[in-house]
Amino acid sequence: MKILVLNGPNLNMLGIREPDIYGKRTYADLETYIHNAAEEFGAEVEIFQSNYEGELVTHIQNAYGKVDGIIINAAAYTHTSVAILDAIKAVAIPTIEVHLSDIQQRESFRHLSYISMVAQQTICGMGFEGYREAIRLLCM
Ligand code: DQA
């Protein structure tokens, strides 16, 4: 099972960014966590983070025919990006959406997720554990 994990804008600022919401662990900690979870389930993962919408779209397009599943935390693009939605639809790769925080319990502008329109499942508010759960679900 080959999995592409995509993380959107400002997630590279984990540890510094709003620690009361996102915690004190860093982005490097998240990468280590994801690699460990992948090993646990015998999956192969590539992790990519970008602050640019187009780079995320290109990564999704390049995954066509190469990966079995996508895990995406599109961060702020979750709430705005038809381009990312269309890219996931285009490649038709099983996709799980993850958010560290519970977007439904936050500001109303975070309640709309374009990614949810195509994702098999959305995991919110579980912190790093959400990525492990997404890997587990893709490996089932
Ligand atoms: C986030 C939630 C988004 O609303 C926000 O813009 C983020 C992170 C999360 O993981 O909780 O950047 O996707």
Query: Is 114 one of the catalytic residues?
Result: no
- The mean pLDDT value for 16-20 works out to 98
pLDDT score, position 104: 97
pTM reported for the whole predicted model: 0.98
Domain hosting residue 98, numbered range: 2-139
- The secondary structure of residue 59, as a DSSP letter, is H
CA distance 94 to 112: 20
CATH number reported for the structural domain that contains residue 50 in this entry: 3.40.50.9100
Q: Which of 27, 77, 99, 131 is catalytic?
A: 99
Burial 98-134 (b: 16+ CB within 10 A, else e): bbbbebeeeeeebeebbbeebbeebbbebbbebbbbb
Question: For the chain, what is the domain count?
Answer: 1
For residue 116, give both structure tokens.
């949810």
For residue 36, give both structure tokens.
């460990």
Whole-number Å distance, alpha carbon 75 to ligand 1 midpoint, is: 4
- The mean pLDDT value for 17-43 works out to 98
pLDDT score, position 131: 99
